[in-house]
Structure 1
Amino acid sequence: MGVERVVPPATTTPGDPVQPPQLVQREMAATLSLEPAGRSCWDEPLSIAVRGLAPEQPVTLRAALRDERGALFRAHARYRADAHGQLDLARAPALGGSFAGLEPMGLLWAMEPERPLWRLLKRDVRTPFVVELEVLDGHEPDGGRLLARAVHERHFMAPGVRRVPVREGRVRATLFLPPEPGPFPGIVDLFGLGGGLLEYRASLLAGKGFAVLALAYYNYDDLPKGMETMRMEYFEEAVNYLLSHPEVKSPGVGVLGISKGGELALAMASFLKGIKAAVIINGSVAAVGNTIYYKDETIPPVSLLRNRVRMTKDGLQDVVDALQSPLVEQKSFIPVERSDSTFLLLVGQDDHNWKSEFYANEISKRLQAHGKEKPQIICYPEAGHYIEPPYFPLCKAGMHLLVGANITFGGEPKPHAMAQVDAWQQLQTFFHKHLGGEERTIPAKL
């Protein structure tokens, strides 16, 4: 405790006796320091430090944010200040809580939803997520006295990134362009089964020097409400739009897809011209849940074998074995051997949505059997299905629209978080190498 001499405001009139100064006890103020200060991009590492604590003081750090639908996400961790009353999360291990050990970004990636089975998504990239950080005295996450507090904005559009809504022919999308004049390497970005238009991955990648078209393909605007059929001509129109854009480098573009979007990205690379590079994140090698059409060709979906669905101890469905193998139903195998694209396949080895590692290996086998270049496959142990940009919390379980029930998606928080940081850098390096452009690295950390 520090002792300060405090003189109260003058309340006397001339001639009154002078009152002696009062001695009061005032606590030394702790400060919570963030770097970058005030705001940063979501995929940037954030340095968190506390100063002005007592030597070796036990404290709890808490982080919280609300998504755009009001759902609360929280994490906390217990720490001990050093002999100088300082705490730096890059050097001090967490002693427990939502995570343990040296985890500088753990307060973000370890967040859990207050509402069960709720996935953190960014729906409007024009606004940030506002993260509230608190330092509490002691090791009780809900009982300690508040020592310091800070608010930090995590943005999804780097300064100057341009957002251009696209309604061109049938194409419904948003194009994100870097701040400076182009041309830039172009990428078509596809998400999974939820439908609609998600922009947060595209907006972040635009800050890394790419022109990225976040493409909706159903349940958005005037697009079909359901996904019973997928016609490659729609995706071809999107590729041609990007190829013809004056700020996009020729002669080819890339495609990036996760989950159902990975399956469709594989089909695009197999059927369509102009795709030089494809990154598939936990995608299928077979049509799933709908027929894929291109001109006079059809790829029917593999069978769903409901007798292979298992229940977990948490009452969730585990559907990892529920799809028939495309080696059994060959008509459902996407003809990847036709592709002239270069592939990067990113695989969560604990993906329980479907057999992503098996699919990646079958893609590789078929490409090589037809004299094509062997794809790069990167496998992440204990990573689940939704490998997102860095620092998104693990979505371990949730509703699966095809199954019509809550399923487990797999993954463990720490290795999944490590996978996201690495995958983010790997896909940027891959696209810069094969599409051209200047790589920009922000050193990511956990």
Structure 2
Amino acid sequence: MRRLALVAGVFALACSSSNDDPATPKVDGGADAAAPEPAVRFLMDGKEAVRAFWGDPVTIEVTGMPPGSSVTLRARADIVNQEAESWATYTADASGTVNVDTTSAVDGSYTGVEPEGLVWSMTPATDTADELAFDDFRVRVESEGATVAEGTLGRYYLADDVTQMDVVESGLVGAFYAPPGGAHPTLITFGGSEGGLTGGQTLAWYYASLGYSVLALAYFNVPGLPQYLTQVPLEYFDTARQWLETRPEADTTRIAVMGGSRGGELALALGATFPWVKAVIASVPSGVSWGAPQLGNTEVSSWTYQSQGLAFVPFDWTAQPTFTQDADGVELEHDRALFESSIAKATPTKLDLASFRVEQTQGPILMIAGADDQLWPSCQLAQIAWDRLEKSGHVDKYGDELVCAPDAGHFSPVVGSPTVGLHRAYHPITKQWLALGGTPAGTAHAKRNADTKIRALLQKALASP
């Protein structure tokens, strides 16, 4: 696998006079004082950085500009072999400084105070004449039409010291990632209705780089497993836990499960079923089980346990998706109304039978949802689980949390990439462009908030006893 980490340096102009007499005192602000040269720096926790983990927040600061001058920052990055760019214009403060964490952009690919705006507002570059190294992030500073400073930050998605291995045994299909050293707190990650391994693997790279041992699992749509999300046995994931017990890198007394969309539904189901699950992170999830549509408007269970299909909310087959065209002319399918209608028409008994017994989970549950989710109403569906958690006292005992992010759609919690274009996704099984909802800014803010909460929950829930 290609390494995602590249070392890069920060270029900044420095100014000093070789004719200065060290015995002659300097007078700040005097006529002979040399004006500082423009420079751009990348800061982490107040310290200058030349390399950073993909998801860590980085402050961009420009110094040495004329006070009150117009300063344009032009960012460019290699995002998975696709060059992308963004820009923003600021006004330097009285000290000649622009700090993107606190200074408001007056024009550009975003406006206002947006600490990560140069990242999330990126769009594909109109040219590739100035190619960057893989995963480099460069910022050029312009004033009066000229480039006056430049800096490049190296970013990595998978830490250099993380080991990785394919897992195709015991009926499992996945990949295992581990930091160096012995038994680490452990995650089991997986994707959603797209199937395959990519969704779980993306999460695994990210969290293994943060110090967790992670087993990414496929559970359908790969050779050796069901083709579709149909009657998937929950015991498959208990087999994964047993496999992890053979790995010295994994502490199986501290396991969290993490997934999104149908994978978020699955994460809630696993927490409700297996006492070894010590934390659940479910993004844009459903607190009820949904079926697997078949020909002739029929359904079967998506999940089974002890050879019995889990009860599910029946689809309202009279409801229809709606279709819109986005600014690029792409036809998008909106499925939210299908789920809303199905919930509205389900009897209280059927809703209760299909609801996961999340209150049985032996650890905290974090649910992240999007208020503008156009695939399904994730806030409403997560609320079903939340009501059970509150009523049972689980929230008081474990500190569960439900976040319904405004202006966010159907999104992944992984942060650090552009969010322009994340209002849609192509589904590899249905072969249809799906509307996900959300605005670029709203989705970016939701991702950062989710990342912060997930890190805090994992650190607390999976701490050493």
More off after superposition, 216-225 vs 42-51: 216-225
State how far apart, in whole Å, the 2-side matches of 1:169 and 1:372 are: 38
State how far apart, in whole Å, the 1-side matches of 2:99 and 2:386 are: 44
State how far apart, in whole Å, the 2-side matches of 1:383 and 1:406 are: 18
Instruction: Answer yes or no: is 1:71 the counterpart of 2:93.
Output: no
Q: Which residue of 1 aligns with 2:305?
A: 294
Q: Which amino acid letter does the alignment assign opposite residue 386 of structure 1?
A: F
1:46-445 pair list within 5 angstroms: 46-68=58-80, 70-113=81-124, 129-138=135-144, 144-179=145-180, 181-198=181-198, 199-220=201-222, 222-284=224-286, 285-289=288-292, 291-299=302-310, 302-303=314-315, 305=317, 307-312=319-324, 314=326, 315-323=331-339, 324-325=342-343, 328=346, 330=350, 333-336=354-357, 339-342=360-363, 343-366=365-388, 371=392, 373-374=394-395, 375-394=400-419, 395-401=422-428, 404-437=431-464
Q: Which amino acid letter does the alignment assign opposite residue 368 of structure 2?
A: L
8 Å contact kept, 1:278–1:341:
no
State how far apart, in whole Å, the 1-side matches of 2:423 and 2:453 are: 23
8 Å contact kept, 2:76–2:137:
yes
Q: Could you tell me the percent identity over the aligned residues?
A: 27
8 Å contact kept, 2:371–2:409:
yes
More off after superposition, 426-435 vs 303-312: 303-312
State how far apart, in whole Å, the 1-side matches of 2:437 and 2:378 are: 12
8 Å contact kept, 1:206–1:212:
yes
How far 1:175 sits from its partner (Å)? Answer: 2.2
Please give the secondary structure, in 1, of the residue aligned with 2:114: coil
State how far apart, in whole Å, the 2-side matches of 1:190 and 1:151 are: 33
Structure 1's consecutive aligned runs of 4 or more residues displaced over 6 angstroms after TM superposition are: none
8 Å contact kept, 2:269–2:358:
no
- Cα RMSD between the aligned structures? 3.3
Q: Scaled by the length of structure 2, what TM-score is found?
A: 0.74
8 Å contact kept, 1:185–1:432:
no
8 Å contact kept, 1:232–1:294:
yes
8 Å contact kept, 2:220–2:226:
yes
**Distance verdict in 2 for CA 1:243–1:146, change over 3 Å:** same
8 Å contact kept, 1:187–1:255:
yes
Please give the secondary structure, in 1, of the residue aligned with 2:206: helix
**Distance verdict in 2 for CA 1:163–1:310, change over 3 Å:** same
How far 1:42 sits from its partner (Å)? Answer: 0.7
**Distance verdict in 2 for CA 1:45–1:433, change over 3 Å:** closer
How far 1:95 sits from its partner (Å)? Answer: 1.0
Q: Which residue of 1 aligns with 2:39?
A: 31
Structure 2 unaligned regions, length at least 5: 1-16, 18-35, 127-132, 294-301
Please give the secondary structure, in 1, of the residue aligned with 2:75: strand
How far 1:320 sits from its partner (Å)? Answer: 0.9
**Distance verdict in 2 for CA 1:346–1:218, change over 3 Å:** same
How far 1:373 sits from its partner (Å)? Answer: 2.0
Cα deviation code 1:2-49 (max 9, x no counterpart) = xxx9xxxxxxxxxxxxxxxxxxxxxx9643322343311011122222
How far 1:100 sits from its partner (Å)? Answer: 1.4
8 Å contact kept, 2:55–2:414:
yes
Cα deviation code 1:184-219 (max 9, x no counterpart) = 221111222333333333233234332222222234
